[in-house]
Each structure stands twice: as structure tokens, then as C-alpha cells.
Amino acid sequence: MVKSGSLADRVLTMLGRDPAKAVEFRDEAVRLHTLRREDPAAFRSARAAARTGHVPSHRWRNRRWAVLVAVNLLFVVSFWLDIQILEGALTASRFVGFHLIDLNSALQVMLAHKHIIVNLVIGTATVLVLWLLLGGRSFCSWVCPYHLVSELAEKLHLALARRDLVSDHDFHRGLRTVFWLVFGVLAWVTGYTVFETLSPTGILSRALIYGPGLALAWVLLIVVFEVAYSRRAWCRYVCPIGLTYGVAGTLSPVRVVYRLDRCVHELDCKKVCLVPHVLDPVVRGRAAAATMPIGPDCTRCGLCVDACPSGALAFEIKGLSKLL
């Protein structure tokens, strides 16, 4: 049986399985859960105290948006001013002479060519090390231009939902794993990187740098679908990039950590989380340990850290200290 909160559980959850329910709890977690059951008045008092004077922060969101915009603008400025700092696009680029190749793109190209391409391996190595250190899916929220578009589309979806004009429709998260396999098989069978043609990440990156084209109509169609029918559908249920980077960053030292002793279970974090299944431990009674890292499907967007009224969620570098 896979234990709740274990590495295997977190990886399987990323692949689409529902988070495992804890059956074994560490002593400190048992003590904290028991205190909250046996002394509900004290718990309610702690919850009220945590909420007193709490003003939701946008510190990490603002930092993330600034980095995302800066990275993509550097591509644009480098091209238009021909200063050769960051050349190419997000799928394949060169930073002051160092080749950088997107992990998923490199995989698709090698599947299409049916052999390992040495130049791709060299260009991918630097990117792999970077996201092994920072956490793979941080690419999604800190670099990917479509992530920002989808995040803003989600705000519009929620505004329309409050007026009962649209409703959200969920799909099984395992669909993303299925699409990852489908796009890999298509590349192998056709000899063509089908996903790169459809990827809004690549389309937007190239449009920003080289100018808009008809492919933007496909991106607009995805956005309309997300606003009107299923919020963040592409990132949650289709895009294989997040899954590839999630696997790459499974053992990353940079992570969001949950502390049960500080949690008042308001669940504000799950309301804003872009991948809320990773925050299953914050639900009252589910945390198997007093301190738990959030799983590799976490995009390190920081929205939960900003929203938490009691500081139960925070960025950390494993073995070092809390990131301010």
C-alpha cells in the first residue's frame, strides 16, 4: 500500500490518481489532531486569532508575474535589438552562448527522429539541472506565457460563475498522462512533433518575439473554452510540459512546506491553488505528519503562501531555511 505523503504517493497523484488517505500518522500529527478534536473552543479561538487583521498578500504572485514578464520580454528585446543575450524561443534558445532546450520539446524531437540527438542532450542538460534545483513545475508558473493568460482567464471564469453565467466542468486529471503518452506516440509514428504545433506555450512565445500569426486563433479557442466551460483545462488536463517538468523536479530542494501546528484549516489556500489536489493535507484530519512538503505537481506559484492567514505554508530550501 502506498503511504499518504510518501514520494510514491506524490508522484502517483501527479500522474492523476487521487491523493492517498493517511492510515498511519506520526506521533506529533496525532497529538495535534487530537487536541483540535478534544478542545474545539481553543481551536475556534486560534482560528479567529489567525484571521484577525489578516490582509491577503500578493507578494509571491507579484514576484512571479514580474519574473515571467521579464523572461519573455528578454527574448523580445534580444531579437528586436539584436543583442544576442537570449536568442530563440522557449522551446529552444541560447543564453549568452549556452544552449537551452525545453525538456518536453527535446523528448518530442528525439521520439520523432527515433534516436538520441547529441546536440539536444547537451542543450537539455543545463535546463534539466536548473529545474532539478528549482522544481520542475515552477517553469509553468514562473516562465510559461500561457500560464499567465490562463490565470487571467480563470479570474474571468470565476467572475462569470459568480453571476451564474458559466459553470466549471472537471475532467479526470489522469487525462494529462494519457495526452503525454498520445503526443509521444504521435511523434514516434508520424516523425513530426505534433504537440509543438498545438502548444500554446510555443505559439505565444514565438508570437511575442517574431509577431502574431494565425496560430493565435488556436490559443484564443483554448482560452474561450477555459472561460466558458472548464477553467485551466489545458494546464490541468492536456499539457504534457507540466508533467515532464514535474517528474524532473520531483526531488527539488525548493518546495512549499505545510506545517500542521500553524494551520487553522480555513482552506483559503485550496480556493486559490492552481492545482488544489496537492493541498489535500491541509484538510482537517488528513495530514500524516506535522511537517509535509507539497507534492511535485505543485507549480510553486506562491498563491497558497500569500493566502494562508497563519503562515502554515511557506517556501523552503530543503536543509536550509525559509525563503522570505
**Per-residue pLDDT tens over the stretch 239-254:** 999 999 988 888 889 9
Q: How far does CA 51 lie from the centroid of its chain?
A: 27
Over residues 228-236, mean pLDDT: 94
Q: Band of the pLDDT at 194, cuts 50, 70, 90?
A: very high
Q: Is the model's pLDDT at 297 over the cut of 60?
A: yes
Is the distance from CB of 47 to CB of 309 less than 8 angstroms? Answer: no
What are the residue boundaries of the structural domains of the chain, listed by start?
A: 7-53+253-317, 60-248
Q: Band of the pLDDT at 156, cuts 50, 70, 90?
A: very high
Q: Is the model's pLDDT at 83 over the cut of 90?
A: no
For 88, the grid coordinates are: 530563440
Q: Is the model's pLDDT at 322 over the cut of 60?
A: no
Cα gap 5→292, rounded to integer Å:
7
Give every strand in the sheet of 313-317, ordered side by side: 291-293, 254-259, 313-317
**Per-residue pLDDT tens over the stretch 97-131:** 788 888 899 899 899 988 877 777 888 888 888 88
Cα gap 71→79, rounded to integer Å:
13
**Per-residue pLDDT tens over the stretch 134-146:** 887 999 999 999 9
CB atoms within 10 A of CB 57: 13
Strand pairing category for 291-293 and 313-317: unpaired
Is the distance from CB of 136 to CB of 144 less than 8 angstroms? Answer: no
Q: Nearest-CA neighbor of 303 among 264, 256, 260?
A: 256
